[in-house]
Chains A and B, each alone.
Chain A
Amino acid sequence: MNEIIIEATGIKKTLGRGAGEVKALRGIDLTLRRGEFTLLMGPSGSGKTTLLLVLGCMLAPSSGTLTVCGTRTSGVDKEGLARIRRDHIGFVFQSYHLFPTLTAAQNVQLALDIRHERGRKAGKRAREALNLVGLEQKADTLPGELSGGEQQRVAIARAFVANPSVILADEPTAALDGNNGRSIMRILADAAHQRERAVLVVTHDPRVIPFADRIVEIEDGLLVDTGSGEPERLHLPKTAAFRP
Chain B
Amino acid sequence: MSLVPTLASRNLFHDRLRFVATLVGIVFSVVLVMIQMGLFLGFGRMVTTMIDHASADLWVLPKGAKCFEDPSLLDAKLRDKVASVDGVASVVPLVIGFSDWRLESGELTPVFVVGADLRDRSLEPWNVVEGDVRALSQSGAVVVDRSYYDRLGVSKIGSTAEIRGRRVKVVALTDGIRSFTTTPYVFVDLKNARTYTGTFPDRASDLLVRLKPDADRDTVLKAVRAQVGEHEVLTTDEFRSRSRSFWLFGTGAGAALFAGALLGVIVGTVIVAQTLYSSTKDHLSEFATLRAMGSSNGYIYRVIIYQALLNAIIGFIIATAIGAVVVEMTAKSALPIVITPWLIAALFVLTVVMCVASAIGAIVRVVRIDPATVFMR
| Chain A residues within CB distance 8 Å of chain B | 49, 52-53, 56, 58-59, 79, 82-87, 89, 91, 93-95, 97, 99-102, 106, 109-111, 113-115, 118-119, 158, 170
Please report the C-alpha to C-alpha distance between residue A99 and residue B6 in the assembled complex, in whole angstroms. 11
**B residues 77-112 touching A (CB-CB < 8 Å):** none
Kindly state the interface size class of chain B when it binds its partner: 20 to 34
Q: Kindly state the separation between the CA atoms of A95 and B374 in the bound complex, as whole angstroms.
A: 9
Asked if residues B294 and A83 are in contact (CB atoms below 8 Å), the reply is yes
The B contact surface, by secondary structure, is helix
Q: Are the C-beta atoms of B7 and A101 separated by less than 8 Å? A: yes
10 tightest A-B contacts by CB? Answer: A86-B294, A101-B10, A85-B294, A114-B295, A97-B289, A113-B3, A58-B372, A82-B294, A101-B14, A53-B372
- In the complex formed, the residue of B with least CB distance to A155 is B289
Q: Which of B3, B291, B292, B374 contacts A106 (CB 8 A)?
A: B3
Q: Are B372 and A95 in contact (CB under 8 A)?
A: no
Pick 27 A–B contacts, CB within 8 A, sort by A.
A49-B375, A79-B296, A82-B294, A82-B295, A82-B371, A84-B294, A85-B293, A85-B294, A89-B294, A91-B374, A93-B292, A93-B374, A95-B377, A97-B285, A97-B286, A97-B377, A99-B10, A102-B7, A102-B10, A106-B6, A110-B3, A110-B290, A114-B290, A114-B293, A114-B294, A118-B2, A118-B3
Q: Is the CB of B291 within 8 A of A52?
A: no
Q: Which of B332-377 contact A (CB under 8 A)?
A: 370-372, 374-375, 377
* CB <8 Å contact, A102 and B6: yes
A99-B286, A101-B10 known; A86 and B372 CB under 8 Å?
Answer: no
Q: Closest chain B residue to A98 by CB distance?
A: B289
Is A99 touching B294 in the complex (CB atoms < 8 A)? no
Q: Is B149 an interface residue (CB 8 A)?
A: no
Interface residues in B128-181 (C-beta closer than 8 Å to A): none
Contacts of B296 in A (CB 8 A): 79, 82-83, 86, 114
Chain B residues contacting A82 (CB-CB under 8 Å) are 291, 294-297, 371
| In-complex Cβ contact of B292 among A49, A87, A91 (8 A) | A91
> For the complex, is B299 an interface residue (Cβ under 8 Å from A)?
yes
CB-based nearest A residue for B285 = A97
Interface centre among A101, A109, A111 (most CB of B within 10 A): A101
| A143–chain B nearest beta-carbon distance, Å | 11
Kindly provide the distance from the CB of B344 to the nearest chain A CB, expressed in whole angstroms: 33
A170–B375 alpha-carbon span in the complex (Å): 7
Partner of A93, one of B10, B14, B375: B375
- The interface residues of chain A lying within 8 Å CB-to-CB of B294 are 82-87, 89, 114-115
Among B289, B293, B299, B377, the most chain A Cβ lie within 10 Å of the Cβ of B293
How far, in whole Å, are A87 and B286 apart by their CA atoms in the complex?
20
Contact across chains for B293 and A86 when beta carbons are under 8 A apart: yes
Residues on the B chain within 8 Å of A170, using CB:
375
Shortest distance in angstroms between B307's beta carbon and chain A's nearest beta carbon? 12
* B285 / chain A contacts, CB cutoff of 8 Å: 97
A87 to B374, CA, bound (A): 19
- A79–B298 Cα gap in the complex (Å)? 10
CB under 8 Å from chain A, chain B span 279-308: 285-286, 289-297, 299
Could you tell me if A114 and B299 are in contact, using CB atoms closer than 8 angstroms?
yes
Q: Nearest B residue to A202 by beta-carbon distance?
A: B375
- Given known pairs A87-B294, A99-B286, the reply for A109 and B372 (CB within 8 Å) is no
On whether A79 and B297 interact (CB within 8 A), knowing A58-B292, A114-B290, the answer reads yes
Complex alpha-carbon distance, A158 and B299, angstroms = 17
The distance from the CB of B20 to the nearest CB of chain A, in whole angstroms, is 17
Most B CB contacts (10 A, CB to CB) among A58, A87, A170 go to A58
Nearest CB on A from B349, distance (A): 29
- How far is A114 from B299 in the complex, measured between Cα atoms in Å? 7
Provide the bound-state CA to CA distance between A91 and B296, in Å: 16
Q: Provide the bound-state CA to CA distance between A242 and B286, in Å.
A: 31
A205 to B50, CA, bound (A): 88
CA distance A113 to B7 in the complex (A): 11
A85 pairs with B375, CB closer than 8 A: no
Q: Which of A56, A82, A100 has the most CB of B within 10 A?
A: A82
CB of B11 within 8 Å of the partner chain: yes
Q: CA A241 – CA B371 in complex, angstroms?
A: 33
CB distance from A30 to the nearest CB of B (A): 18
Contacts of A158 in B (CB 8 A): 293
In the complex, chain B residues whose CB is within 8 Å of the CB of A85: 292-294
Instruction: Write the nearest CB–CB distance from A139 to chain B, whole angstroms.
Output: 14
- B17 close to chain A: CB less than 8 A: no
**Nearest-CB distance from A154 to chain B (Å)?**
13
Q: Whole-angstrom distance from the CB of B292 to the nearest CB of chain A?
A: 6
Min CB distance A42 to B, Å, is: 15
A155 to B226, CA, bound (A): 88
Question: Please, which residue of chain B has its CB at the minimum distance from the CB of A170?
Answer: B375
